Amino acid sequence: MEPVQATLKKWLKTNKNFKELYSKLKQDVLNDSDIEAFLINHPELTSNDIERNLMKLYEYRSQSKNCRNCRSLNGCRNMIQGYSPVLEVVERDIHLSYKKCQYRINDERDREKTELIQSLYMPKDILQASIQDIDNDSERGQAVLELHRFIRQVKDGVPEKGIYFHGPFGVGKTYFLGALANSLKDFNISSTLIYMPELVREMRASLKDDSVNKKIDIFKKADVLMLDDIGAEMQSAWFRDEILGSILQFRMMEKRPVFFTSNYSLDQLEKMLATTRSGVETVKAGRIIERIKQVSHEVPVYGRNRRE
Ligand code: ADP
Ligand code: MG
């Protein structure tokens, strides 16, 4: 069977109207500035070669190149979104192929990076936080300095200790976590961010389908673990000892950092953790606090309430 393009060409040539159409199409193709430049670069191509490959040149012409007139990947009008056509000459034959455009390359890189952040119940604005947007006001000064110090140290390997940020509601503690997670992406470091009250609920629910251990594993293995709002969760001895205790123990042994935010200082948190429905257990609470101190250091955050 003859190739479709060849049949079409023959047919076009025998029909008067189509003959005109064909010659117009050919003119358009040859007048295209990109194609003109391509042909100048390939003087070895005879008019016969060009004629034989006219449909490929036509397809090339109809596609947008170099994202010149594009604004985004979504606006791409090419046959395959995010791919632009490339012409090559192989043994006096013209080959047309498609390669990824810059927008597509950037988009794929961004997607890969987004996957470096895993989160459970974190607001969208926090996941988009950026370290550049943190103004270095004097009140939050120490906290911001500590955050920058961690990022500087990351260049030589992930530090053993994270930070336990504590301070009043709305000063930007959770925002710090999001900004940090986004900065760490540039170093290919994965973060897992979890809102503590939801973690307790999630773990309770997982008891039913036996997935608790699988989930704990995720929190143990993240390069950097971030526990948001510790102390705001419902206090339960089971969660404190079996879940939180086990995660912190593992990270402590493996020397992997944990970041925390809390409305409570470590002294205050110790009292909270001691009191559960099972009674008052100061030793068990003390053990958790010791582990928190092994995987982080305490930094107060002051400032105005940014939610107002
Ligand atoms: P906290 O966790 O201390 O209660 P958040 O981190 O939730 O406070 O911050 C409170 C609000 O202020 C949020 O809406 C957050 O997006 C915003 N915010 C905090 N820090 C900044 C910042 N540096 N730039 C812009 N918005 C911020
Ligand atoms: Mg918060």
For residue 177, the CA-to-ligand 1 centroid distance in Å is 10
Q: Measure the CA–CA gap between 49 and 57, rounded to whole angstroms.
A: 11
Model confidence band, residue 8 (pLDDT cutoffs 50, 70, 90): low
- Atom index in ligand 1 nearest the CA of residue 261 equals 2
Average pLDDT for 223-242:
93
For residues 16 and 60, which has the higher predicted lDDT (pLDDT)? 60
Computed over every residue of the chain, the mean pLDDT equals 90
307 CB within 6 A, ligand 1? yes
11 CB within 6 A, ligand 1? no
Model confidence band, residue 1 (pLDDT cutoffs 50, 70, 90): very low
Model confidence band, residue 82 (pLDDT cutoffs 50, 70, 90): very high
Q: Measure the CA–CA gap between 26 and 33, rounded to whole angstroms.
A: 14
Strands 258-262 and 224-228: parallel
For residue 282, the CA-to-ligand 1 centroid distance in Å is 33
For residues 57 and 108, which has the higher predicted lDDT (pLDDT)? 57
Residue 43 has pLDDT above 70, yes or no: yes
Strands (E) in 132-256, as ranges, are 162-166, 191-195, 224-228
Q: Measure the CA–CA gap between 282 and 158, rounded to whole angstroms.
A: 32
pTM score of the predicted model: 0.70
Contacts 24+ apart (CB under 8 A), 77-82: 82/107
For residue 220, the CA-to-ligand 2 centroid distance in Å is 22
Give the number of residues written for the chain. 308
